[in-house]
Every structure is written in structure tokens, then in C-alpha cells.
Amino acid sequence: MTRIEFDKKKDEAWLLDPKEQFARKRISFELRKDFLTGHASRILPFRFRIPETSIDAAMVEASRKSCPFCPEKISALTPRFVPEIASEGRIRKGRASLIPNFHPYARYSWVVILCEEHFLYLDQLSTEILTDAFSLAQDGIERVKRQEAAYDFCSINWNYLPQSGGGLFHPHLQLVVEEGPTVSHRKVLDGLKQYQAKWGESFWKDWLSEEVKNQERYIGNQGDIYFVTAFSPLGVLGEIVILFSHRASILEVTLRDWEDFSEGLKKIFAFFKARHAHSFNLSLFSGGGEGAGPRVYGRLCPRISIPPWNTSDINYFEKLHDEVICVIPPEEMCGWMKPFFRSDEQTTQT
């Protein structure tokens, strides 16, 4: 018996098409609902071509002048940790630096500066740079846990370039550690508990097994890190769900896991470059769900500004109705991305 349902409903609208002498025309679309959280997406039928935009070099150069993360300014313009967190003031690992967020929105709201370079294209983000940055974020979470044992919920977040809401071009992550989950994380944790109570099994294990079996949205894996296009996406260009299949908490993630995750990200970035997509949002979630088979999981959404007026890809449906209009079917996006991953036989062990 299939425990996980992929709930979708086809619907249609009618119009008189001016491109075909106002002939009567039927337009089909899909309504989808996420099994775990109930999140709704509307998949539109027309083929959408990601616009061939470029990164404004003049804007990047202008932003360098006031960037506090560049090496010559970081000592004077960025805050230091209080001694009980880090006696050295700032924490370093490889080329990455961990500092407090100058505008915190949580008690533990910190920033990981990835490298010395003010700007890097996606294909310039090496496995080493990414691995050091994410493992340094993990070190920060471990320091919080030593201070605040009850702070079990954390996320590692990345806004890359202005289209994603990034305030600085200099590559950086944002780390948040709190006593409770965010709204999005809570919906997932509640779904995990309900699934476990009903079926006595881990949702993540069953979901991954089902996605690998049907091959419609399963992109591939790098080690124990799995990449799947979301059935009901959170972004207008779709969403990639990332599962650390053997890790219940970010505190359990190994250096090898971070290397595998970084290698997987580089493949995603190679796909983005091929499709002229430069920007994205990424969040990794950890914490809670004891007894409900928790796993470290992530969500990654490509972002664009739509030419010629640099229109935002967020509209009233997403912002005010809590539903997403997605213009690329997840199954089609998966087909585009699979060649960037290994084609050898994959297995799931959760």
C-alpha cells in the first residue's frame, strides 16, 4: 500500500485566442498539494524559458566600496563575539569567517563570510570554500549548544545576489539558532509526527524510497545527500529538496557529508549556469521531531528578476495567499538536472 499520496488536480480555463484569430482555446493547469505540510502550488502549462540575464559588473564593483566583509574592512566594520562565545572575537576556518550579525533577528543570529573575494560566480564556488563555510556554521551551532542546551532548532541560510533578497554581493551564509522552530519548520515537524503516529514509520524514509522508485522527480545523490525536485514547489521556478538521509541533526553531520553536500551544490550551480539562472535561496533545517524520524533537510529555490523591467518573481499569490504559481513542472525540471548528476545506480538507506 502506498502511504504517501501525490495529490494533484487538473483544471482548465477557456478563452478566445487573439494569436489564432480569436479561436476558442482551452488552457490546462494543475493544482498540487504537499503531502506533509499541505502547501499548495499551481503548475502553469506554458513553457517558460529562463531569461538570459547577466550579472551587472558595474553594480558589483560599486558595491565593493562599502562592503564590510572585504578583508581590508572586516576588522574595523564587523562586530566581534562576546568572550563567552569566542574569546578570539571572530572564528575562522580555512577561508571562512564567523561573526555576529550586526542586525540580529534572534538571540543567536550569526553570519559566515565564505571567502576574501567580494564576488564569486557560481562556478567559482569551490568544494573547499563551500565545505569550510558550512562546517564553520556547524561549529557555531555547537558553541551555542554549549551555552544554551535548550536551543535545539537551527537553520543555515543563503541569499545569493539581490534577486534573492541578498543585501551584499560578498558571499555569506546566515545562521540562526533558537528555542523553537520557524513556521515552515514547525509544519514539517508536525507532519512528521502525524505520519509516524499513523504508520509507525519515518516519513523521510518512505518519501525518499517512493521518489527514487518512481524516478519522476529524483535528481540524484552525492554520497548520503539526496536531491529531489519538490512535488509542490515553493518557488516560481521550482524547488529542490535536499535530504541528509543519515543525519537527524546538523550536529551529527560529518566533514564528508559537507563535502558531498558541497559537491551536490556545485552540480546544481552548473545547471543554473547552463540555464542563465544566477540567484537562489537556500535553507538547511535541523532540530525537533524526536521519535518521528527527523532528518536534516534543505530547500533550494532559484530566483530571477523578469526582464525588461526587472519584475520580481514573487507575486500576490505567494506573498498574500500562501500559494505558489510555478511555471516549470517539477518533473521537467528534474529531467533537465539529472545529466548534471551521476547516472550510476542509486540506493536509499535512511
**10 within domain boundaries:** no
CA distance readout (Å), 95 to 102, 116, 129, 130, 137: 21, 7, 7, 10, 13
Please write the tens of the pLDDT for every residue from 109-122. 999 999 999 999 99
**46 within domain boundaries:** no
By the 10 Å C-beta count (0-12 exposed, 13-18 middle, 19+ buried), 52 is classed as: exposed
pLDDT of residue 46: 72
CA distance readout (Å), 202 to 5, 198, 213: 15, 10, 17
CA distance readout (Å), 283 to 15, 102, 106: 40, 20, 16
pLDDT of residue 287: 93
**Looking at residue 49, what DSSP letter applies?**
P
**CATH code: domain of residue 253:** 3.30.428.10
**5 within domain boundaries:** no
Question: Helix, strand, coil % (nearest 5) of the chain?
Answer: 35, 25, 40
What does the alpha-carbon distance between residue 22 and residue 25 come to, in Å, rounded to a whole number?
8
**112 within domain boundaries:** yes
**39 within domain boundaries:** no
Q: Which residues contact 103 (CB under 8 A, 6 or more apart)?
A: none
pTM above 0.85, yes or no: yes
Do residues 331 and 217 lie in contact, with contact meaning Cβ atoms separated by under 8 Å? yes
Low-confidence ranges of the chain (pLDDT < 50): 344-350
pLDDT of residue 347: 46
**172 within domain boundaries:** yes
**13 within domain boundaries:** no
Range of the domain at 101: 57-340
**194 within domain boundaries:** yes
The number of distinct structural domains making up the chain is 1
CA distance readout (Å), 130 to 72, 165, 259: 22, 20, 8
